[in-house]
Structure formats: C-alpha cells, structure tokens
C-alpha cells in the first residue's frame, strides 16, 4: 500500500508539471472529433491571465465530455453501444484538481484545473480499457448525476458515462488510500492509466 501511495504522489507531481500546451500522444494518436479548448487570443497577456484562460478551457472541455454522447467523442460500433463507455477519476489537491478520463476504445486523457494536461492518444490503451471495464463493475453502487462539480480538497470523485446518463460516487481521499473503500479496485485501475501516461510522457521527452 505504501508503494501505491508514493507512486500516486509522484503522479500528482507529474500531472501538475504538464505543460499548459496540451499535447496528444504520438503513440497512436486518435483523430479528434470532440470539443477542443478555444484558441488563445492574439496579443501579449500576463502569465496569470493566460493560466486562467487555460484553466477555463480545460474545465469547459471536461464539462463537454461529461455531457457528450459516445458518438460525439468518436466512438462507433460496439464501443458506442456499450452500457459503459467512459469514466473519469478526479482528485482535489491544494494546487488544483486532476481529472483522468478514459474511453472504452482505449483513449486516455489527463487534465488539470490549472490548464495543463495530455489530450487524447492511445499511450495507455490497454490500461484505459481496463479502467472502463472496472467502472462497469461498480455502477450499481453509484448514483445518477445531474451536475458535475469538482471535488473539494481531500476528496475524490468518479463519474461513469453510460448510455443512460452519468453516474457518480465520491469519497474521502484518505479512506480510499487506506485500501478499505469498496471503490479501491477502480482507483487502482485509474492509477494504472496515470502510470502509463507518465511513462509515455517520459519516453516522448527529447534526449
């Protein structure tokens, strides 16, 4: 368990260290059919203004994903017809919120409320598929969600996207990390996606 918690801390540092310039994985990039952040306005702007604009763009993209259909995010065939087609895991820290999004076809994305992240791509394809499969196992314990606020600091949220709408669950971060929570297997599946994204990002760095 200690190893898992240590790894998760490292991944949080990785997530908030992502460049505000969002990139798609070169390891099997998926054509983007989903909404993308608005283009930056030309002209010089203070750094804090740029960060704020990027944060708004990321939240807009996140909210759009939560209200999209499978087809609108590029799914087709069996993936689009599946009962569960996507899952989000969110963790709130003092520096902001990390949002991990996985789709049934293996696409994985990582956003932060500060504006950085990784958009699309198949760098964590197998892990993303397992994350969605695990989410379906826990669907019965979740409640239908009509709104999608970020979790508060020290809290974790899961949103599961289905043909019948979005379902959600929330828990205390410490309780989850203790390994005693019923959603712990889902947390571990999400953690594996984060690990794969981190590994891919390190491989993509120039020597």
pLDDT in tens, 20-32: 444 433 334 454 4
Judged on CB neighbours under 10 Å (0-12, 13-18, 19+), 7 is middle
Of 36-40, 146-150, 175-179, where does mean pLDDT reach its minimum?
36-40
The answer to whether 197 touches 7, Cβ cutoff 8 Å, is no
Q: Please, which pLDDT band fits residue 106 given cuts at 50, 70 and 90?
A: very high
The answer to whether 176 touches 187, Cβ cutoff 8 Å, is yes
| Tokens found for residue 136 | 């379906």
Average pLDDT of the residues of the chain: 79
Q: What percent of the chain clears pLDDT 90, i.e. is strictly above it?
A: 47
- pTM for the full predicted model: 0.80
Q: What is the mean pLDDT of residues 8-35?
A: 46
Q: What is the mean pLDDT of residues 114-121?
A: 78
Torsion of CA 116, 119, 124, 127, to 10 degrees: 90
């Amino acid at each position: 368990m200690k190893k898992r918690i240590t790894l998760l801390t490292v991944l949080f540092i990785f997530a908030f260290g992502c460049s505000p310039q969002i990139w798609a994985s070169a390891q099997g990039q998926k054509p983007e059919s989903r909404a993308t952040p608005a283009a930056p306005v030309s002209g010089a702007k203070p750094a804090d203004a740029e960060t704020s604009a990027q944060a708004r763009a990321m939240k807009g993209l996140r909210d759009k994903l939560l209200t999209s259909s499978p087809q609108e995010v590029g799914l087709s065939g069996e993936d689009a017809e599946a009962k569960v087609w996507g899952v989000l895991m969110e963790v709130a820290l003092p520096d902001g919120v990390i949002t991990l999004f996985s789709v049934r076809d293996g696409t994985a994305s990582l956003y932060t409320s500060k504006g950085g992240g990784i958009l699309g791509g198949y760098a964590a394809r197998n892990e993303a598929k397992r994350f969605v499969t695990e989410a379906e196992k826990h669907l019965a314990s979740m409640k239908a969600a009509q709104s999608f606020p970020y979790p508060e600091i020290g809290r974790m949220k899961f949103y599961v996207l289905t043909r019948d709408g979005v379902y959600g669950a929330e828990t205390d971060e410490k309780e989850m990390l203790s390994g005693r929570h019923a959603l712990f297997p889902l947390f571990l599946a999400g953690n594996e996606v984060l690990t794969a994204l981190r590994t891919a990002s390190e491989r993509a760095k120039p020597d």
